Amino acid sequence: MPASESELLHSWHHNARAWIDAIRTGAIESRREVTDQAILLAVLSQQPEHVLDLGCGEGWLLRALAKRAIDAVGVDGDATLVEAARAAGSPAVHLASYEELVQAKVDIGSGYDLICANFALLHQDIIPLLTTMHALLVPGGKLVIQTLHPWSTAAGVYQDGWRQETFAGFKGQWQPMPWYFRTLSSWLNALDMGGFGLAGLQEPQHPQGVGPQSLLLVATRRSVFGRRLD
């Protein structure tokens, strides 16, 4: 595993408790005001029955979907986050790193009609993982990704590459986290190479109009021959 990928996973292990507190107290304004609702509505708009939350964290989205009678399964690579999700009422949560998923070392089920990844694709080589998710979806199934908006986070350097999140201004003890910045075209190319076709693109806005808070992509599973199956 490349050094930055390893550091990313290690930072999640270190920051798990602080992350749980931040999510459950609504400490992150962009999530509280915009992005949590955006991903929930994007998932609900597809009217799914069987959902996989990839990188589910402490499980808030699983709980929100369960309240709406949607069968939601989670998977995350950090044991503390998985335990927190289970303790909060989401028993169907698997512990597995993305590498373990790609290598099929952990069975997380299949036949999903929607897979969502909410700020959960932060590593560099996401194509093997997208290909793995492709195989877990039913024909015509959807992939919903919410991620950092590339134009809002470019900071004057609009090209793929590793960046660092320092969590400045967050309460608690945080370890800096590396994450991989990708341009819009890079996102679209990754989806295409993973077997998906773009079905929708949103740029959720803050109520006070301070610019897009995220990039939200909805993609449809294609057949291996590039023909849509829906």
Domains within the chain, CATH numbers bracketed: 3-221 (3.40.50.150)
* pLDDT for residue 225 is more than 50: no
> Which segments of 67-207 does DSSP mark as H helices, in order?
79-87, 98-102, 127-136, 150-153, 184-193
pLDDT digits (tens, 9 = 90+) for 140-189: 999 999 999 999 999 999 999 999 999 988 888 899 999 999 999 999 99
Long-range contacts of 168-174 (CB under 8 A, 24+ apart): 170/18, 170/22, 170/27, 170/28, 171/18, 171/21, 171/22, 171/27, 172/17, 172/18, 172/21, 172/22, 173/18, 174/14, 174/15, 174/18
Asked whether the CA dihedral 176, 180, 98, 93 is positive or negative, the reply is positive
- pTM to 2 decimal places: 0.95
Let me know: does 196 contact 222? Beta carbons within 8 Å. Answer: yes
Query: Residue 225, Cβ neighbours under 10 Å: how many?
Result: 6
pLDDT at 78 over 80: yes
Calpha distance 214→7 (Å, rounded): 24
pLDDT value, residue 1: 57
